[in-house]
């Protein structure tokens, strides 16, 4: 029973990270719908972080009012820039370290295969829902996507990956100065809301674009703010502290799989052979990395246990100490 409890406890970070990727996939579908409705992504980002701040700040004030860290200059600087660097130890001499490298390579290969290779179309679902209410091929014309726009999109995607990687790394450092996840998430949301709102106000000055009604725009920004920028940020911060930034980031390709499935079901997007094969490689790579990380955690636990056992063996028995003291005392008297 104890071993089963420990196994479930060890699986908790992995299960939470799978849920995180499902949440990210949902926000991708909603952003697609919001863009189709004509919403500016700058305004959507500002509202997203405003909703996140409104959600996380009361929770932090309520549940962490007695254990919040002091707002030092260093903490505020880390929250604002999110730019410190670290690296996780790979431990290439161990089986776990080799598994992490191999799993990461397999996962990235699967992501590349899913993104760049199509192959023949695969029909899996008997019926599909098209929330966009039109065919994707009907609205996309060659003039809409010039070569410069495609290159700009690729560059922005790469920069986004680096930015997210740096953000994951800083979470490992943030845990040392700010172990309170609610307060950390609230501070990050507030800083991001200030930055995003100021930027959006400088570019989008038409107030009609900022209006939110009871439509997909409100659903998108509220879901993105409360779930992905609120709950998900707290979960990721906890998982980084428990398993490290590499473990957390390796789940990112899984979002491609979930998005491909969700878009195929709800947006009438097509699935291809490359999507299926890439998804299979992503899942295999993810399993290998998780296995490698579990081996490392097992080795660390055994090492700590052995150190504690050696300390206990080095300590003299209390009974022997009493006996020695009584003999010495009797001889001196």
H/E run at residue 271? strand 271-272
Domain count, the chain: 1
Neighbours of 300 (CB within 10 A): 11
> Which of residues 299 and 54 earns the better pLDDT score?
54
Structure confidence at residue 230 as a pLDDT band (50, 70, 90): confident
Structure confidence at residue 28 as a pLDDT band (50, 70, 90): confident
25 in a domain, yes or no?
yes
* pLDDT average, residue stretch 289-295: 75
Q: Per-residue pLDDT for 123 more than 50?
A: yes
Give 197-229 pLDDT, tens digit per residue.
999 999 888 888 888 888 899 999 999 999 988
299 in a domain, yes or no?
no
Q: What is the DSSP string of 122-143?
A: E---S---BTTSS-HHHH--GG
Q: Output the pLDDT for position 46.
A: 92
| CB contact set of 203 (below 8 Å; sequence gap of 6+) | 42
Q: Per-residue pLDDT for 308 more than 70?
A: no
Structure confidence at residue 51 as a pLDDT band (50, 70, 90): very high
- The length of the chain in residues reads 333
* pLDDT average, residue stretch 99-117: 79
Structure confidence at residue 177 as a pLDDT band (50, 70, 90): low
Q: Output the pLDDT for position 328.
A: 42
Q: Per-residue pLDDT for 249 more than 90?
A: no
- On average, the pLDDT of the chain sits at 75
User: Which of helix, strand or coil describes residue 121?
Assistant: strand
Q: Per-residue pLDDT for 332 more than 50?
A: no
Structure confidence at residue 69 as a pLDDT band (50, 70, 90): low
Q: For residue 79, with 0-12 CB atoms within 10 Å meaning exposed, 13-18 middle and 19 or more buried, which class applies? A: buried
151 in a domain, yes or no?
no
Q: Output the pLDDT for position 227.
A: 92
320 in a domain, yes or no?
no
304 in a domain, yes or no?
no
Single pTM value for the model: 0.69
305 in a domain, yes or no?
no
275 in a domain, yes or no?
yes
Q: What is the DSSP string of 64-100?
A: STTTPPP--HHHHHHHHH----------TTSHHHHHH
- Structural domain span for residue 44: 2-133+165-292
Q: Output the pLDDT for position 50.
A: 92
Q: Distance (Å, rounded) from C-alpha 184 to C-alpha 82?
A: 12
Of 48-57, 81-90, 305-314, the least confident:
81-90
326 in a domain, yes or no?
no
Q: Give the dihedral sign, CA 212/46/253/181.
A: negative
> Which of residues 38 and 149 earns the better pLDDT score?
38
């Amino acid at each position: 029973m104890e071993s089963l409890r420990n196994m479930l406890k060890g699986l908790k970070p992995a299960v939470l990270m799978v849920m995180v990727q499902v949440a990210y996939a949902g926000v991708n579908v909603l952003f697609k719908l919001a863009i189709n409705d004509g919403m500016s992504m700058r305004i959507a980002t500002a509202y997203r972080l405003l909703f996140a701040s409104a959600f996380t700040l009361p929770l932090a004030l309520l549940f962490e009012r007695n254990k919040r860290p002091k707002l030092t200059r260093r903490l505020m600087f880390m929250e604002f820039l999110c730019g410190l660097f670290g690296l996780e130890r790979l431990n290439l001499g161990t089986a776990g370290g080799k598994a992490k490298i191999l799993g990461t390579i397999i996962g990235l290969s699967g992501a590349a295969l899913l993104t760049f290779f199509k192959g023949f179309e695969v029909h899996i679902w008997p019926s599909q829902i098209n929330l966009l209410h039109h065919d994707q091929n009907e609205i996309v014309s060659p003039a809409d996507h010039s070569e410069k726009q495609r290159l700009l999109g690729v560059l922005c995607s790469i920069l986004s990956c680096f930015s997210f990687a740096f953000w994951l790394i800083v979470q490992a450092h943030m845990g040392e100065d700010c172990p309170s996840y609610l307060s950390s998430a609230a501070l990050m949301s507030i800083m991001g809301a200030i930055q995003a709102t100021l930027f959006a106000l400088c570019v989008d000055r038409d107030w009609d674009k900022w209006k939110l009604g009871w439509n997909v725009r409100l659903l998108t920004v509220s879901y993105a703010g409360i779930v992905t920028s609120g709950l998900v940020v707290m979960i990721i911060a906890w998982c980084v502290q428990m398993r490290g930034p590499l473990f957390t980031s390796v789940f990112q390709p899984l979002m491609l799989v979930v998005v491909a499935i969700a878009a195929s079901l709800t947006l009438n997007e097509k699935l291809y052979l490359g999507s299926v094969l890439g998804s299979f490689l992503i899942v295999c790579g993810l399993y290998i990395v998780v296995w490698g990380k579990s081996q490392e955690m097992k080795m660390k636990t055994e090492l700590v246990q052995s150190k504690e056992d050696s300390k206990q063996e080095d300590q003299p028995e209390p009974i022997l100490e009493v006996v020695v003291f009584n003999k010495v005392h009797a001889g001196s008297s």
